[in-house]
Chain A
C-alpha cells in the first residue's frame, strides 16, 4: 500500500510541476502586462522602468525559477491587477467554485442514478426510452445555452428565481442545473448500462434464482457493483467541473475561480493566472488520487500494486 501511495504522490507532484511550466510559458508568451498597468499617457521610460522593476526583462526560464522558488515557499506573489496577494483572492473565490461544482454533482447524481436504475430494470419500456432520449438531449445541449434559456424562463418570464449572483439556495438552482445537465445525462446512461451489465452476471442470476426479493437483488448486489464506475467517473468529472465552470460563472455572475481566471488571462495578471491554474490542477489531481483510494476501499480485490 505504502509504495503505491508514494508512487501516486510522486506522479501528482510531477504533473503539477509540468502544468506550472506549461502555463508559465504560455502566459508569458502572450505578452507582458506592463502596458496595461500604466495609463495611456505613460512615457516610454515609465514603461521600461516598471518592466525592469517587475523583472519582466529577465529571460523566461529565470523568471520561472524565481516563481517556482517563491511558490514552494508558499509565496505566489501579488496580483498585478487587484494589488493583493493572489492566494487571498483564490481563497475568497474557491468556496464559490466548490459550492457550484458540488451542487451540480449532487444534483446530477440524485436525479440520474434512480433514473438509470429504473431504466435498466424496465429496459425497453416507454419510460426507459423516454429517459434515455432525455439524457441524449441533455448531452447535446451547450450548457451555457441551457443556462441562458433557464434564465429567460425562470427569471425573466416567471420571476421565480434570482437572475444571478451568489447568496441563497435559490441563486444556486439555475447555475447548478445548467452545469449539471450533461453530467446528469452521462450518469443516467452510465448507471443504466452498468446496471444492465451487472444484472446479467451470474451471481445476480443466482441470487434471483435463490428467490431473493428483486429489491434486495438490485439494492444489495447490483447497485454495489455499479458504484465503482460511478464513483470513478464522478471523481474525474469533479476535477473537470472546477475548471469547466468558466462560461457558466460568466453567465450567472457566479463569483468563482473560473470568472476570476478568465479576467486574469485577459488582464495578463500573470501571478494570478499561474496560481489559479495550479490550484485547479491540484484539485483535479487530488480528486483522481481520491478516486483511486476509494476504488481500493470499494473493491479490495483490485491490486494497488498493479501499474495502471
Chain B
C-alpha cells in the first residue's frame, strides 16, 4: 500500500510547483520603485479620481498643459495658446507628439478625448470638473478652440489635470475595457506590464517629445500597511513612497537612508447639517468651533505639523483670507453659546466618520471628548466607505468628518463643496453661490483673490463646518534619488533623477 502514501504527496507537490512564485526582476540603477497605499484600480486616467490611481496614470498619459504650483500652467501637448475672447481659447498643439503606439497626437485626438469625458459609458468622474466647457472645435490638424459658458479663470489649469489625451484609433480597436488595463498614452512612460495585485511596470517612451526622463523603468506597487511601506523604503526595496503618517516621519529621517519631501496637504473638516435643529442655529455651530482643541490635536496627533485653519480655504491656498483668526479653543464660551441658543443643559449629537482613512478615528474620538466637555454629548458613528458616502448624500449625517486636499486652486474644491448646484446636502447660501460663480470668471489674480477672501469670511462666520487644520503630507524618498513632491500630490516620475 505504498501507493496510498505517495499519491496525496504528489498531488500536494504538484500544486506547489504549479503555483510557485515568480521571482521579481533584478533591480538596477535605471529602475525606480514607487510604493503607494494601493495599486491603481485601472490605468485609464479618465475613469478614476483616486489619487493612487491617477499618480501612475500621469506617467503614462499627457495633457494639454502642465499645471504649476501657483495654479498657473506651462505648455505640454499644447505649444501655445491665446484668448480669442472671454469665452474662447485657441490652442495650438505641438506637432511632434505621438502616442506610444505611433498614432499622432492631433486635434482630432483632443476632440475625441474631450467627447469621451462626457460619454455616458465612460462614467468619467472628471465630468463635473470640466462642466464649465461647452464646446471643443477642431480648426485644423493641430489647432483647436475651446469654449466656456462663462469666463472661467481656472480653465487651463483644470484642462491640465482632467483632460488626458487618449488615442482614438487604439480605443476604437480595443474598446474601453481593454484600454483600462492596457492604456496607450503620450506621456514620458509607456506601460510594459501590469501584474494586477503586484506591480505596474512602465518603461521610458523614447519618442517622448519632452525632456527624457532619467529612469528607464518605473515600477508602481501598492502596500496598504503603513509599517510595511516605511520598512520597504528604509530597507531599500522602494525608492519613493507615499502615505507617510506623521508619527513615522522622524523614523525615516533618523534612518539615514531616506528623506522627506512635502506634497499636498490633507484638510479634514467636520461638516454640520445646518438645515436641522439644533445645528440650524449658527450659535450652536460656533459653539462646536470653540469646543475643539485644534492646537492640542495638532501638537499631539500630528507632531505639531498641522497648520490650523481659520476658514474653509487652506492657508496654503490662493484666496485664503489672511485677516481671519482661527476660532479659539474655549469650552466656557461654547457652553455660553449653547445656553444662549436655548440649550443650557447641552445637546446630544451624532458624529459620523469613515473608517478607511488612518488617524480619522483618533481625531473623531478626541473631538467627541472635546465636544463632550463643552456640553455636546456625541455618539460616534464609524461607517465604511460606501455607507458613509450614501448617508452623506442622503443628508443623513448630523455631524460628519470628511476631508479634502488643499489644492493650490481654490475653485477646484470650494465650488465643488459649497456651491449649491454642486452639492447642497447640508448647507446652502445664495451669497456664497454668487461669489463662487464670480470667482471663476475674474481673470485678474488680485481681484480674484478678493472674492475668495470674501467667501472665506462669510463661511467663517456662518460655520457650515467646524474648521480644523491642514496636515501636510510628505513623500519618503531614498537618499540616492532626487525628487521633489508637488502640491497636487501626484507622483510624476519624469521629475525624478539620481542624486549627485
Residues of A within 8 A of B (CB): 30-31, 33, 35-42, 49-50, 53, 78, 81-85, 88-89, 92-93, 95-96, 98-99, 102-103, 105-106, 109, 151, 155-156, 159, 162-169, 171-172, 220, 223-224, 227, 231, 250-253, 255-256, 260, 266-268, 294, 297-298
CB-contacts of B62-94 with A (<8 A): none
Contacting residues, chain A, for B197 (C-beta < 8 A): 92-93, 96, 166, 255-256, 260
Interface residue? B301 (CB, 8 A): no
Q: A40 contacts B16, CB within 8 Å? A: no
Inter-chain CA distance A93–B384, complex, in Å, is 24
Q: A41 contacts B128, CB within 8 Å? A: yes
Closest A-B pairs by Cβ, 7 of them? A255-B197, A163-B228, A41-B422, A164-B228, A99-B19, A41-B128, A92-B196
Inter-chain CA distance A268–B131, complex, in Å, is 27
Q: Which of B231-239, B431-439, B455-463 contacts A (4 or more CB under 8 A)?
A: B231-239
Q: A36-B389, A39-B128, A96-B197 are in contact. Are A159 and B235 (CB under 8 A)?
A: yes
Q: Which of B1-9, B100-108, B185-193 contacts A (4 or more CB under 8 A)?
A: B1-9
Contacting residues, chain B, for A231 (C-beta < 8 A): 8
The 8 Å CB contact of A83, one of B176, B225, B389, is: B176
Q: A31 contacts B387, CB within 8 Å? A: yes
Inter-chain CA distance A105–B42, complex, in Å, is 33
Q: A155 contacts B228, CB within 8 Å? A: yes
Contacting residues, chain A, for B423 (C-beta < 8 A): 40-41
Q: B123 contacts A50, CB within 8 Å? A: yes
Inter-chain CA distance A267–B228, complex, in Å, is 24
CB-contacts of B1-59 with A (<8 A): 1, 4-5, 7-8, 12, 15-16, 19-24, 41-42, 44, 47, 49
CB-contacts of B170-201 with A (<8 A): 176-177, 180-181, 195-198
Inter-chain CA distance A38–B20, complex, in Å, is 40
Q: A253 contacts B225, CB within 8 Å? A: yes
Inter-chain CA distance A81–B125, complex, in Å, is 12
The 8 Å CB contact of B42, one of A31, A40, A83, is: A83
Q: A102-B12, A171-B21 are in contact. Are A81 and B232 (CB under 8 A)?
A: no
Contacting residues, chain A, for B386 (C-beta < 8 A): 30-31, 33, 35-36, 266-268
The 8 Å CB contact of A253, one of B7, B195, B222, is: B222
What are 22 residue pairs bridging A and B, where the CB atoms are less than 8 Å apart in the complex?
Answer: A35-B393, A39-B125, A41-B416, A83-B44, A83-B47, A88-B181, A92-B195, A92-B196, A102-B16, A105-B12, A151-B228, A156-B227, A162-B235, A162-B237, A163-B223, A163-B227, A163-B231, A164-B228, A169-B21, A172-B21, A224-B5, A268-B386
Q: B422 contacts A84, CB within 8 Å? A: no
Q: A166-B21, A171-B21 are in contact. Are A31 and B128 (CB under 8 A)?
A: no
Q: A255 contacts B4, CB within 8 Å? A: no
Q: A39 contacts B16, CB within 8 Å? A: no
Counting chain A CB atoms within 10 Å of each CB, which of B1, B225, B387, B416 scores highest? B225
Q: A31-B386, A102-B16, A255-B197 are in contact. Are A84 and B237 (CB under 8 A)?
A: no
Q: A168 contacts B44, CB within 8 Å? A: no
Counting chain A CB atoms within 10 Å of each CB, which of B8, B222, B223 scores highest? B8
Q: Which residue of B lies closest to A164 (CB)?
A: B228
Residues of B within 8 A of A (CB): 1, 4-5, 7-8, 12, 15-16, 19-24, 41-42, 44, 47, 49, 120, 123, 125, 127-128, 176-177, 180-181, 195-198, 221-225, 227-228, 231-232, 235, 237, 356, 384-387, 389-390, 393, 416, 422-423
Interface residues of A, dominant DSSP = helix
Q: A38-B123, A151-B227, A297-B4 are in contact. Are A166 and B16 (CB under 8 A)?
A: no
Inter-chain CA distance A149–B151, complex, in Å, is 59
B24 shortest CB reach to chain A, Å: 5
Contacting residues, chain B, for A49 (C-beta < 8 A): 120
A161 shortest CB reach to chain B, Å: 10
In the complex, given contacts A166-B197, A250-B224, what are 5 additional A-B residue pairs having Cβ atoms less than 8 angstroms apart?
A99-B21, A168-B23, A224-B5, A231-B8, A297-B7
Inter-chain CA distance A44–B20, complex, in Å, is 50
Inter-chain CA distance A256–B196, complex, in Å, is 10
Contacting residues, chain B, for A82 (C-beta < 8 A): 41-42, 180
A172 shortest CB reach to chain B, Å: 7
B219 shortest CB reach to chain A, Å: 11
Q: Which residue of B lies closest to A99 (CB)?
A: B19
Inter-chain CA distance A159–B232, complex, in Å, is 10
Inter-chain CA distance A99–B127, complex, in Å, is 41
Contacting residues, chain A, for B384 (C-beta < 8 A): 266
Q: Which residue of B lies closest to A85 (CB)?
A: B177
Contacting residues, chain A, for B198 (C-beta < 8 A): 165-167, 255
Q: B15 contacts A98, CB within 8 Å? A: yes
Inter-chain CA distance A7–B450, complex, in Å, is 79
Inter-chain CA distance A218–B301, complex, in Å, is 61
Q: Which residue of B lies closest to A97 (CB)?
A: B19
Contacting residues, chain B, for A168 (C-beta < 8 A): 21, 23-24
Inter-chain CA distance A256–B19, complex, in Å, is 13
Q: B8 contacts A255, CB within 8 Å? A: no
Inter-chain CA distance A45–B434, complex, in Å, is 24
Inter-chain CA distance A35–B391, complex, in Å, is 10
Q: B232 contacts A163, CB within 8 Å? A: yes
Contacting residues, chain A, for B120 (C-beta < 8 A): 49, 53
Contacting residues, chain B, for A164 (C-beta < 8 A): 223, 225, 228, 232
Q: A84 contacts B180, CB within 8 Å? A: yes
A59 shortest CB reach to chain B, Å: 21
Q: Which residue of A lies closest to B38 (CB)?
A: A263
The 8 Å CB contact of A84, one of B127, B181, B232, is: B181
Inter-chain CA distance A103–B13, complex, in Å, is 10
Inter-chain CA distance A83–B196, complex, in Å, is 13
A84 shortest CB reach to chain B, Å: 6
Inter-chain CA distance A255–B199, complex, in Å, is 10
Inter-chain CA distance A227–B2, complex, in Å, is 12
Inter-chain CA distance A254–B42, complex, in Å, is 19
Contacting residues, chain B, for A156 (C-beta < 8 A): 227, 231
Inter-chain CA distance A297–B10, complex, in Å, is 15
Inter-chain CA distance A109–B128, complex, in Å, is 56
The 8 Å CB contact of A163, one of B1, B128, B222, B225, is: B225
Contacting residues, chain A, for B49 (C-beta < 8 A): 39
B333 shortest CB reach to chain A, Å: 33
Q: A36 contacts B42, CB within 8 Å? A: no
Q: Which residue of A lies closest to B19 (CB)?
A: A99
Q: Which residue of B lies closest to A110 (CB)?
A: B12
Contacting residues, chain A, for B180 (C-beta < 8 A): 82-84
Inter-chain CA distance A253–B231, complex, in Å, is 13
Inter-chain CA distance A224–B1, complex, in Å, is 8
Q: A167 contacts B21, CB within 8 Å? A: yes
Q: A251 contacts B225, CB within 8 Å? A: yes
B448 shortest CB reach to chain A, Å: 22
